[in-house]
Structure 1
Amino acid sequence: MTLSTSIPDVRGADSATRKKTLVAACTAHATHDGLSDLVYVLLPIWQDMFVLSYVWLSVLRSAYSLTLAVLQIPAATLSTRIRPAWLLAISTAVTGLGWLAAGFAGSAIALGASLVIAGLGASVQHPVASAMVSRAYAGNAKKPLGLYNFSGDLGKSMLPAGAAFLLTCTTFQVTATVFAGIGLLAALVIGALLRHVPAPRILTCKAAALPAGAGHAGSPRAFAALLWTAIMDSAVRMGFLTFLPFIIKHNGGSLAQAGVALTLVFIGGAMGKFVCGWMSERFGTLKTIVVTELATALLIGVVLIAPISLAMIVLPLLGAVLNGTSSVLYGAVTDVVESHKLEKAFSVFYTGTIGSGAVAPILYGYVGDHAGVLSATAFVALTAALALLPVVLFSRLQPGAFDSRS
């Protein structure tokens, strides 16, 4: 049976157009991911400014990330009505304006509203930018998409570290204004790069002609197992990052050291995408997930009890397994989902993981308020170990489900 679907027509796309598209997408990814993770550095500042509990700090974090998660699918739909190039530039400007408003917020409620505006702009970047890169490099998009993904980690490494440095010599208001300016500048760069990039034309073809996921039978239960593991993995990642500045502070570290700690985790995360990808190809998806999740739980425990100097050494390795697992899980989707269902599957997968990352810190924050930050972080480590259960249990029912190409 054949099935009609849509793929982009890239006929006439020259080398210069492809490069401009990739640079614009990487600029957007680095800017949005960096601004999103800026929140972690600012949580202790906001706690002192507004006298907030861990739950309310987690609500502020989720105001940004939950907005981003909920609007992923609507943003992708909007891109079919508005030229993607302009939508990407405008949304980046909206994020910059959200951070500008955050700098002038006089209350926690106003700050939360500003972060919702920033999250509204950020919701466009992932579906639109990744689609633009895939469209420009159709048939040969794997490496460009890898560079696009890496640019997000680069932004996560640079922008929070820059904010931590600025906060040692200036105020939060000035820092927020500077990073709002970075967002607005990025919007101008994106608009300039994509100004002459033509809007995509859509062709219709047979699903049998599509290479993605071809030859793999659909398995809704296997997809559900991957999704639940990914949801728990995302909860671990966001929960740990939320508490890391407070762990450093609890162990006698400074705000600058907290910024360095986050940067080390993000640098390790960038390396983890490559290392865990290699592990998945070499040892199989299931074994890689087991190793990385157990390593995550163990290394979180080390960071909790170790002196700051040792914790700083461990953090890049923790970042590698903390971030690398998500790439392995994402890549495994094509092994358990039929070709013509991949687009819907990835949208569900992305919404679930980002939504989990938004909601989980609130639950962990509740534990932190009642049992302390160390106990809450230990609970995060336990979640990492439990994240193994869905894929391990399903693999017992259907051996080799996640490693059909390993």
Structure 2
Amino acid sequence: MRPFYFSSPTAGVANGPGQPTSVPRTRVLWLSCMAHALHDGYTDMIYALLPVWQADFGLNYGALAILRGIYAGTMATLQLPAGRLARAWGTRSTLAFGTLLAALGYALAGMSGTLLGLCVALAISGSGSSTQHPLASGAVSRVYGRNARGPLSVYNFSGDLGKSVLPAAISLLITIMPWRHALWAVSTVGVLAAAVIALFLPSVPRGEPSIEETSRQNSNGSRSGFSLLFTIGVLDTAVRMGLLTFLPFLLKTKGISQPMMGTALALVFIGGAAGKFVCGWLGARVGVTGTVLATEGGTAALILAVIWLPLTPAVILLPLLGVMLNGTSSVLYGTVPELTSVERTERAFALFYTGTIASGALAPVAYGFLGDRIGVHGATIATAATALAVLPLALALRSHLRTT
């Protein structure tokens, strides 16, 4: 029996009234997953490069933070324009161009001899990466229609694979060659990926929704429903990034060794990757509300348990904590198409990703200031309280959903 996300190899998508077209679903899914893995890997690759740039350019920590912020900032702010560009160029052309631009940005970074040149190169690469989230997730959503929740969880999971592989690859490459050559090598991968997308990503017609679908979207896919989903996504991201900021310090107070610290964080990330896959599948079967209540309630309970338990049982709980921390996101991403009309799918994803990326950037700062005032334990408890604040919002979202 094939997995749920391969239930049909093709999807009938209306190209216009009376013009159905057959789109190979699995090819759209896997090429979208490839794009997600590459772009998310490019985004997190910067963390492995910061120490190298610090030594080469003589940068302080503030300048390093600016470099990271330039990439993340351009990626976040240009997602909505990327969606508008796709309406003129088409998803395939825009996504291929964005992937090429992201790769060329890193190639230019390898050629840069000044800090200004490096900043410009990262802005170019971040601009290219702004196309991936709204367009790739929108393409998966279109070809799978009402069955998109499971495939979107696979798409979501693929980003974690890229975050694991590319930073590790660049870390290895800079030990055997100059960092500039290493950047040219990984940029070549991006150029090849752009060519694959341009040649093989099926053209996904934008289509018009049926009368039945329009009626359903008018009643369930309301603006207030999307606003609730957006707020839940922002708070969920804030919990995740806030906790990850304090978790090393929390474990340090329990006496963890430095080598064991790396293992502990790896356990969280492994659990998180599994959570994205499993909870997307779970949301498709037991409903959005129940899954979000379980993951956010479980997150709060496990955060408190990790705070109060001794080191060994706390570490044992970390994979499960990772599942809960990351699991909600797959459910939320899979719900975006349900709360928006077909022709506005890319815009809805762009808005949603912009909000969650901004939350991921700002939440550690906010919790950091709170930690300065009330300490590590108090700030970590605040992340648990934020998770609990999602519960009434999830209940309010129930009335806007086709399935609860």
The TM-score, its normalising length taken from structure 1, stands at 0.74
Once residues 84 and 341 of structure 1 are traced to their aligned partners in structure 2, the CA distance between those partners, rounded to angstroms, is 13
Deviation, 1:219, is 7.0
Once residues 124 and 264 of structure 2 are traced to their aligned partners in structure 1, the CA distance between those partners, rounded to angstroms, is 28
Once residues 241 and 146 of structure 1 are traced to their aligned partners in structure 2, the CA distance between those partners, rounded to angstroms, is 22
What CA RMSD, in Å, does the superposition of the two structures yield over aligned residues?
A: 4.4
Higher RCO, 1 vs 2 (CA within 8 Å, ≥6 residues apart): 1
Once residues 300 and 59 of structure 1 are traced to their aligned partners in structure 2, the CA distance between those partners, rounded to angstroms, is 33
2:296 aligned with 1:284, yes or no?
no
1:270 to 269, 273, 277: 273
Once residues 23 and 394 of structure 2 are traced to their aligned partners in structure 1, the CA distance between those partners, rounded to angstroms, is 45
Once residues 27 and 158 of structure 1 are traced to their aligned partners in structure 2, the CA distance between those partners, rounded to angstroms, is 12
Once residues 90 and 398 of structure 2 are traced to their aligned partners in structure 1, the CA distance between those partners, rounded to angstroms, is 42
Q: Secondary structure at the residue paired with 2:87? A: coil
1:13 to 19, 22, 32: 22
1:52 to 52, 60, 63: 60
Deviation, 1:350, is 2.4
Deviation, 1:272, is 0.4
Deviation, 1:81, is 1.0
* Cross-structure match for 2:385: 386
Once residues 164 and 249 of structure 1 are traced to their aligned partners in structure 2, the CA distance between those partners, rounded to angstroms, is 26
Conserved 8 A contact 1:285-1:403: no
The C-alpha deviation readout for 1:180-223, integer Å capped at 9, x for no partner, is 222122112222323xx4x4545444453359758637472x65
Deviation, 1:310, is 8.2
* Cross-structure match for 2:135: 128
Structure 1's unaligned 5+ residue stretches are: 1-5
Conserved 8 A contact 1:269-1:320: yes
* Cross-structure match for 2:8: none
Once residues 153 and 56 of structure 1 are traced to their aligned partners in structure 2, the CA distance between those partners, rounded to angstroms, is 27
Once residues 174 and 79 of structure 1 are traced to their aligned partners in structure 2, the CA distance between those partners, rounded to angstroms, is 33
Report the CA distance shift for 1:188/1:248 in structure 2 as closer, same or farther (over 3 A): farther
Once residues 208 and 335 of structure 2 are traced to their aligned partners in structure 1, the CA distance between those partners, rounded to angstroms, is 27
1:69 to 71, 76, 82: 76
Deviation, 1:28, is 1.0
* Cross-structure match for 1:3: none
Conserved 8 A contact 1:29-1:125: yes
Deviation, 1:102, is 2.6
* Cross-structure match for 1:87: 94
Conserved 8 A contact 2:293-2:394: no
Conserved 8 A contact 1:133-1:141: yes
Q: Which residues of 2 match residues 5-404 of structure 1 at below 5 A? A: 8=15, 11-13=20-22, 15=24, 18-49=25-56, 50-53=58-61, 55-138=62-145, 141-194=148-201, 197=202, 199-210=203-214, 216=220, 218=222, 220=224, 223-238=226-241, 253=258, 265-277=268-280, 281=286, 284-294=290-300, 297-298=303-304, 316-331=319-334, 337=339, 343=345, 345-361=348-364, 381-388=380-387, 390-394=389-393
For structure 1, which segment, 158-167 or 184-193, has the greater mean C-alpha deviation from structure 2 after superposition?
158-167
* Letter aligned with residue 387 of structure 1: T
Aligned length: 383
Deviation, 1:388, is 2.9
Q: Secondary structure at the residue paired with 1:79? A: helix
Deviation, 1:29, is 1.3
Q: Judging by fraction of residues, say which structure has more helix.
A: 2
Report the CA distance shift for 1:146/1:170 in structure 2 as closer, same or farther (over 3 A): same
* Letter aligned with residue 74 of structure 1: P
Once residues 266 and 345 of structure 1 are traced to their aligned partners in structure 2, the CA distance between those partners, rounded to angstroms, is 27
* Letter aligned with residue 160 of structure 1: P
Report the CA distance shift for 1:119/1:235 in structure 2 as closer, same or farther (over 3 A): farther
The C-alpha deviation readout for 1:230-252, integer Å capped at 9, x for no partner, is 22332344456678899999977
Conserved 8 A contact 2:100-2:194: yes
Deviation, 1:285, is 4.0
The C-alpha deviation readout for 1:132-164, integer Å capped at 9, x for no partner, is 334444565444434333322221222222233
The C-alpha deviation readout for 1:289-317, integer Å capped at 9, x for no partner, is 432431564487599x959x986x66544
Structure 2's unaligned 5+ residue stretches are: 1-12
Once residues 27 and 200 of structure 1 are traced to their aligned partners in structure 2, the CA distance between those partners, rounded to angstroms, is 17
The alignment-based identity, stated in percent, is: 39
Once residues 114 and 292 of structure 2 are traced to their aligned partners in structure 1, the CA distance between those partners, rounded to angstroms, is 46
Conserved 8 A contact 1:103-1:173: yes
Report the CA distance shift for 1:264/1:164 in structure 2 as closer, same or farther (over 3 A): farther
The C-alpha deviation readout for 1:71-124, integer Å capped at 9, x for no partner, is 111111101111322221121111111112233444544433322211100011
Q: Secondary structure at the residue paired with 1:273? A: helix
Q: Secondary structure at the residue paired with 1:387? A: helix
Once residues 261 and 229 of structure 1 are traced to their aligned partners in structure 2, the CA distance between those partners, rounded to angstroms, is 27
Conserved 8 A contact 1:34-1:160: yes
Once residues 168 and 301 of structure 1 are traced to their aligned partners in structure 2, the CA distance between those partners, rounded to angstroms, is 38
Report the CA distance shift for 1:208/1:131 in structure 2 as closer, same or farther (over 3 A): same
Once residues 179 and 201 of structure 1 are traced to their aligned partners in structure 2, the CA distance between those partners, rounded to angstroms, is 32
